[in-house]
Amino acid sequence: MHKVYHHVERIAGNVITIRADNVKYRELAEVTSRHGSSLAQVIRLEHGEVSLQVFAGSRGVATDARVRFLGHAMQVPFSDALLGRAFTGGVQPRDNGPTLTENLTNIGGPSVNPSKRIIPCKMVRTGIPMIDVFNTLVESQKLPIFARAGEPYNPLLARIALQAEVDVIILGGMGLKHDDYLTFRDTLEESGALSRTVMFVHTAADPVVECLLVPDISLAVAEQFALEGKRVLVLLTDMTNFADAMKEIAITMEQIPSNRGYPGDLYSQLASRYEKAVDFDTAGSITILAATTMPGDDVTHPVPDNTGYITEGQFYLRNARIEPFGSLSRLKQQVNGDTRDDHRTIMDTMIQLYAGYKETTEKQSMGFRMSEWDNRLLKYGERFESEMMDLSVNIPLEEALDLGWKILAECFDPVETGIHSELIDAFWPSNGQKPEAVAVASD
């Protein structure tokens, strides 16, 4: 038996306040008025007053709206019937399939006991050298892609999803342009991956509160698949929109903002989502890749900044290339020691030399004379950019490592690379051109 209320006291933003008794914190209610009906969730109890955020927005909600409490918090249906389907943030079908109502499971469940986690140890091969060689992706990792709006982060997410060997792909779209949603869907369909994909997509045109639900719903479903032993990849795009939706609600609720209007618990809120990435002891895993756009290309903006502290590294996407500086996979050490003996050394050496190249280009642009060493760096840097960094390069890890040695050998003497002698003896290509024979690049 659920009580029904007919009088709304206040409406501010997407939050309505009524007087009601015996309401549970975070309980769902159905709000119906002449212009339609929507779900709403309790976000504050204060003496006899109950504040609810209305998922479809408060537009058209009348003071005599009918509010019926459902007695439970937000739930999502879970079964294999989800696969191949697309839903809104409110779990309504976005395709022409039926509405699912079976086997409901709670969203935003408790966190995993750290002692039931295992150390991630399986590499996810992507065929992108900037990831495989330099910042290896690991199963159960949580990793954001930091990019300016306009960078091709969505195609990159789609490409990784297609090339990674996983059982289930879950796409959580927040504030996604409708075109982008269709692009995702078509890309997945063309490659035959749609049948192992579930999509929860909030588009920019949908009510903002639904945006808040997308990560929780996506991750709750992912968790259920993972508990069945499946390896799940969750793509979340764009988490900045999620944070902005949170900001909107917080301001409506008159919370004291901490930094650029974002609520003080931004870190905890983001963390409770990202921390769902897990490799279960004796069950499956969840890997999370999330796009986070940086307003003004500023990594110190609260959203990318807090994200960086939560996630296990980050990829910077700049000028359609994954930047070697700043990009980091914290879990790479778990796997790159077992791939090939030279993996770590190639990784460090090539980046250090590329940093040298960057310094040299600065000097060059200021018109300084280039020394012999500078010319070698210039030659190296250009080859590195075109043969390794370009996103169109698609080669397995081993080939990429060999290519690394080849580039090094054609640009430098062994001692100039700083690689210790054992590896030089084992891997330095014997037929590499002598640096003396290199034509001076500039001049």
Partner 1 sequence: MSHATGTIVGVNGNMLTVAFEGAVGQNEVGYAKIGDLGLMAEIVRIRGNLADMQVFEDTTDLTVGGTVDFTGDLLSVELGPGLLKGIYDGLQNPLPDLAEECGFFLQRGMYMDSLDRSAKWDFTPKASPGDTVTAGEILGTVPEGIFEHAIMVPFAFKGTFTVETVAPAGSYTIEKTIAQLKDEAGNSVDVCMFQRWPVKMPITAYAERLRPTEPLVTQVRIVDTFFPVARGGTYCIPGPFGAGKTVLQQITSRNAEVDIVVIAACGERAGEVVETLREFPELTDPRTGKSLMDRTVIICNTSSMPVAAREASVYTGVTIAGYYRLMGLDVLLLADSTSRWAQALRETSGRLEEIPGEEAFPAYLESVIASFYERGGIVRLKDGRSGSITIGGTVSPAGGNFDEPVTQATLKVVGAFHGLSRSRSDARRYPAIDPLDSWSKYNTVVDNEVVAFAADLLRRGTEVGQMMKVVGEEGTSDDDFIMYLKAEYLDAVYLQQNAYDTVDGATPAERQKQVFGVIAEILKSSMTFEDKDAARRFFHELTQLTRDWNRLKTDQDGFKEAQARLDKAVSEVSKNA
Q: Between residues 89 and 302, which has the closer beta carbon with respect to partner 1?
A: 302
Please report how close the Cβ of residue 4 comes to partner 1 at its closest, in angstroms: 17
Distances (CA, A) of 314 to 96, 275, 317, 361, 403: 37, 15, 10, 26, 25
Q: Between residues 97 and 309, which has the closer beta carbon with respect to partner 1?
A: 309
Distances (CA, A) of 126 to 199, 271, 399: 21, 26, 13
Please report how close the Cβ of residue 72 comes to partner 1 at its closest, in angstroms: 9
Q: Between residues 199 and 353, which has the closer beta carbon with respect to partner 1?
A: 353
User: Would you list the DSSP string of 289-343?
Assistant: EEEEE-GGG-TTSHHHHHHHHHSSEEEEEETTEE-SSS-EETTHHHHTTTT-TTH
Please report how close the Cβ of residue 152 comes to partner 1 at its closest, in angstroms: 23
Please report how close the Cβ of residue 397 comes to partner 1 at its closest, in angstroms: 19
Q: What is the token pair recorded at 398?
A: 């081993």
**DSSP E strand stretches across 130-283:** 137-138, 142-147, 168-176, 197-203, 231-237, 257-259, 262-263, 278-279
Q: Between residues 63 and 352, which has the closer beta carbon with respect to partner 1?
A: 352
**Strands 321-322, 313-318: parallel, antiparallel or unpaired by DSSP?**
antiparallel
Length of the chain: 443
Please report how close the Cβ of residue 380 comes to partner 1 at its closest, in angstroms: 15
Please report how close the Cβ of residue 369 comes to partner 1 at its closest, in angstroms: 6
Q: Between residues 48 and 93, which has the closer beta carbon with respect to partner 1?
A: 48
Q: Between residues 93 and 337, which has the closer beta carbon with respect to partner 1?
A: 337
Q: Which residues fall within 8 angstroms of residue 394, CB to CB, at 6 or more apart?
A: 127, 128
